[in-house]
Amino acid sequence: MTALPLDGIRVADFSWFGAGPIAGQTLCTFGAEVIRIESEAKLDSLRVAHPFAMNPDGTFKSGYNVSGYFNNFNAGKLSMQLNLNTEKGQQLAYRLIEKSDIFLTNFTPRALEKWNLRYDDLLRANPSIIAAYAPMQGLEGPHRDFLGFGAVLTPVTGISEMSGFPNQPPFGVGTNYPDYVINPGHTVIAILAALRYRNRTGKGQLIELAQVESVVNTLGTAVAGYLANGDNATRNGNRSPIAAPHGAFRCADDPESSGSTDRWIAIACQTDAHWQAMCHAIGDPVAATDARYAAFEARKANEDSLDALVAAWVAGRRAEDVMALLQSRGVPAGVVQNAQDILDRDPHMRARGYYEYLDHQETGRAAYDGPVARLSATPAHHRAPAPLLGEHTMDVCERIIGLTADEIADLLAEGVLL
């Protein structure tokens, strides 16, 4: 089998929930051995978060190993149960850190201090460790011990202020977006930079990734606009300063769509030529020369009536048919796809084979997100499904930490290993 870019790199993953484990997932997919440190005493709540796998009779499976949420973000990792609230548990953590290249966490500083996992402590155990800390508010500052998730970060960083419709409350982006993309992506980049530095110098270093600072990178020109002219970017619905019409318009319902049957088409006419092509495609050439809509400035000035016109055009038509028709005329348009589309019905995604199907001991065969990128010489892949809680405790203790069977038995009896 082809060697992967991070083969030989070991990650001691002391993170939980989304941002930290997803960063570890990327490292694992590209070859790193990632050991998730878990504990039933402080369970990663994603293990008990929907969606759950189903039984043949249509009921949900139960337990710590059946969450599609958790499993999708932890494929290929090893799971070790360790009680960090005990002195011996902390000693074992350091024996693992001694044998690791990377330490990863997104717990608050308060929790890490309780477990004696500060950077200075790690250095004494492993001077070459790359220690990646990604608490929500950073290691220092008045809010250092505040905790939260992507749904907290979106309002705190200003994303929610720009998400929604004018004169209505902000409603965010509908998902914990920072947890899935921004923070884990930035964390991985920082870790790779630190690995490169260590390869050149032999020295590890501390990585502090304050999630709040990572996320404000997504505000685009909002801060620059405020600096330049004092304007605060706010909610503008689906409208754009460079396109009209620009929005999502409801088409005919799709009875075969799982869950909601709503179907929508996104359309963006960025030029007068786009608008004219759209009018002819829909069968209303008169609108192409209507003084209210013929030029871009006029369309922006009459956007309410313009949107109503487009909505009336597409209502009752299949979203896929509208997309094909408009695209054939060079008009930017696309179906607003749902999860069912992405997994089962999108011909492009299916042809590329993005999703990897893995067989899990308790959930059976399921789809996992594939690698975030494709490397031609060293293509990444998942080597195993997500681990059961504590599935590899014995293996890690014996193979990596070097404990004997009797020592492991004693630690199990003492509640250090769970």
CATH number for 387: 3.40.50.10540
What torsion, rounded to 10 degrees, do the Cα atoms 187, 193, 199, 200 define? -150
Angstrom distance (rounded) from CA 135 to CA 148: 9
Residues 342 and 376 grouped into a single domain = no
Residues 341 and 363 grouped into a single domain = no
Token digits of residue 395: 């293996």
- Our answer to whether residue 179 is catalytic in this structure is yes
Instruction: List the one residue out of 92, 81, 101, 54 whose CA is nearest residue 388.
Output: 81
Beta bridge partners of 265: 249, 335
Write the burial class of residue 123 (CB in 10 Å: 0-12 exposed, 13-18 middle, 19+ buried): middle
Instruction: List the one residue out of 73, 27, 24 whose CA is nearest residue 386.
Output: 73
Residues 341 and 362 grouped into a single domain = no
Residues 111 and 49 grouped into a single domain = yes
Helices and strands in the chain: count of H runs, count of E runs: 19, 11
Beta bridge partners of 34: 11
Tally Cβ neighbours within 10 Å of residue 193. Answer: 13
E strands, 330-373, in order: 333-335, 356-360, 364-368
| pTM for the predicted model, two decimal places | 0.94
Residues 138 and 22 grouped into a single domain = yes
User: Does 118 fall in a domain?
Assistant: yes
Give the pLDDT confidence score for residue 1 in this predicted structure.
65
> Is the separation of the CB atoms in 82 and 37 below 8 Å?
yes
User: Does 179 fall in a domain?
Assistant: yes
User: Does 2 fall in a domain?
Assistant: no
Residues 331 and 274 grouped into a single domain = yes
Q: What letters, b where the CB count within 10 A reaches 16 and e where it falls short, cover 370-397?
A: bbeeeeeeeebebeebbbbbbbbbeebb
Residue 284 sits at φ, ψ, to 5 deg, of -135, 70
Domain boundary among 328, 347, 366: 347
User: Does 293 fall in a domain?
Assistant: yes
What torsion, rounded to 10 degrees, do the Cα atoms 126, 383, 79, 93 define? 0
Residues 371 and 303 grouped into a single domain = no
Residues 401 and 266 grouped into a single domain = no
- Give the three-class secondary structure for 185: helix
Single out the catalytic residue among 179, 254, 307, 341.
Answer: 179
Residues 59 and 180 grouped into a single domain = yes
User: Does 227 fall in a domain?
Assistant: no
Mean pLDDT for all residues in the chain: 95
Residues 177 and 31 grouped into a single domain = yes
Residues 27 and 82 grouped into a single domain = yes
Give the structural domain span for 146: 10-218+355-414
**CATH code of 275's domain:** 3.30.1540.10
Angstrom distance (rounded) from CA 331 to CA 312: 18
Domain boundary among 300, 320, 347: 347
User: Does 38 fall in a domain?
Assistant: yes
Give the pLDDT confidence score for residue 92 in this predicted structure.
97
Give the pLDDT confidence score for residue 256 in this predicted structure.
86
User: Does 238 fall in a domain?
Assistant: no
Tally Cβ neighbours within 10 Å of residue 274. Answer: 22
Residues 121 and 95 grouped into a single domain = yes
User: Does 83 fall in a domain?
Assistant: yes
Residue 175 sits at φ, ψ, to 5 deg, of -160, 165
Q: Residues of the chain whose pLDDT is less than 50?
A: none
Structural domains counted in the chain? 2
Domain boundary among 298, 319, 347: 347
